[in-house]
Amino acid sequence: MKNILVTGSVGQIGSELTLELRKRYGNDNVVAGINRTLPTGELAETGPYEKVDTTNIDDIKAVIEKYKIDTVYHLAAVLSAVGEQKPGLAWDIGVNGLYNVLELAREFNLAVFFPSSIGAFGPTTPLDNTPQDTIQRPTSMYGVTKVTGEMLCDYYHLRFGIDTRGVRYPGIISNVTLPGGGTTDYAVEIYYEAIKNRKYTCPLGKGTFLDMMYMPDAIDAAIDLMEADPGKLKHRNAFNITAMSLDPETVAAEIKKHMPDFKLDYDVDSVKQNIANSWPNSMDDSCAREEWGWDPKFDLAAMTEDMLKVIGEKHAKGQL
Ligand code: SER
């Protein structure tokens, strides 16, 4: 039986991944690591939660010892747009936090999942059909922390035999917890604004293509990779994964199929636009497909139908 710690468990991915891990491995075996924000609802009620400031190694160690943790899903991070406002914080949480987790992985023989990102690429990367192994010179602090994280995870595996694994997530679209300060956040906000106001003003310009994925696929990716046969993993860390390549017009056109009066306009945020311009338009995820069977279930049509249904129901109940 696994004993799992999820850091960043109240974040966009953590809040849903923690619940899915509890369903699969048992409520009491999955500890929600929290820092400043207290968990609410199902996350607080279904299993244990503990304060884990990942920049403080003693915090993490105490929880590992108390719950005999053997696996860490290390999600605590600062997203890309906030990272440009607070580069020191992005580095501290993104790199020093991971270093602490990896040092404890040596001491307690932990398996570690680390999410890298499309942000690990930069303007000199081939941006169409971006290969698994290619040029990585990101120009955002978020990207710098993600490339460093990828390399640290490789190093701890090669040097110390730690079972590190990870993916490069694209923008994740979800309807439970809002992302906070990422470049791809528009692809979440557009659905909420469609339901609430039937219009959306997008901070990324027309024709800005980026990889995206619906949350159920993002969660399956993390768990499936951690369950994969290690003998088949040639890469282990930083697998490119994607489900769709979208620009704002394409998302809006799909929403209009359900809501013909939906309107999209633009007010470009230069910080986010510069970051988006330096990220892939579409990644090649064939290594993930070959090495551990990555196969996303949701395309744009299925995701849009589900997003509008779930957010529409929340709106009707006055929960937005
Ligand atoms: N969603 C992230 C961001 O925009 C990318 O991994 O910062």
User: Residue ranges per domain, the chain?
Assistant: 4-171+215-240, 174-212+243-281+297-316
Q: What is the pLDDT of residue 44?
A: 96
> With the CA atoms of 78, 79, 81 and 83 taken in that order, what torsion angle do they form, in degrees rounded to the nearest 10?
30
Whether residue 73 contacts residue 17, with contact meaning beta carbons closer than 8 Å, is answered with: yes
Ligand 1 interacting residues, C-beta cut-off 6 A: 79-80, 117-119, 142, 169, 171, 182-184
Q: Which of 185, 213, 214, 269 gets mutated to test ligand 1 (max ligand atoms within 8 A of its CB)?
A: 185
User: Which residues does residue 72 pair with via DSSP β-bridges, in sequence order?
Assistant: 5, 112
Domain 174-212+243-281+297-316: assigned CATH number:
3.90.25
Atom of ligand 1 nearest to the CA of 181: 7
Q: Which of 183, 241, 271 gets mutated to test ligand 1 (max ligand atoms within 8 A of its CB)?
A: 183
Q: What is the pLDDT of residue 76?
A: 97
Mean pLDDT (whole number) for 302-309: 98
Atom of ligand 1 nearest to the CA of 183: 4
How many residues appear in the chain? 320
* pLDDT above 80: residue 169: yes
Q: Which of 118, 144, 173 gets mutated to test ligand 1 (max ligand atoms within 8 A of its CB)?
A: 118
pTM over 0.85: yes
Which DSSP string do the residues of 200-227 spell out, in sequence order? EEESS-TT--EEEEEHHHHHHHHHHHHH
Q: What's the gap in Å between 302 CA and the centre of ligand 1?
A: 22
Q: What strands lie across the sheet with 49-51, from one edge to the other? A: 49-51, 30-34, 4-7, 71-74, 111-117, 163-169, 239-240
Atom of ligand 1 nearest to the CA of 169: 6
Q: What is the pLDDT of residue 284?
A: 98
Catalytically annotated residues: 142
Which residue has its alpha carbon closest to ligand 1 atom 2?
182
Domain 4-171+215-240: assigned CATH number:
3.40.50.720
pLDDT digits 0-9 by tens, 78-135: 999 999 999 999 999 999 999 999 999 999 999 999 999 999 999 999 999 999 999 9
* pLDDT above 70: residue 1: no
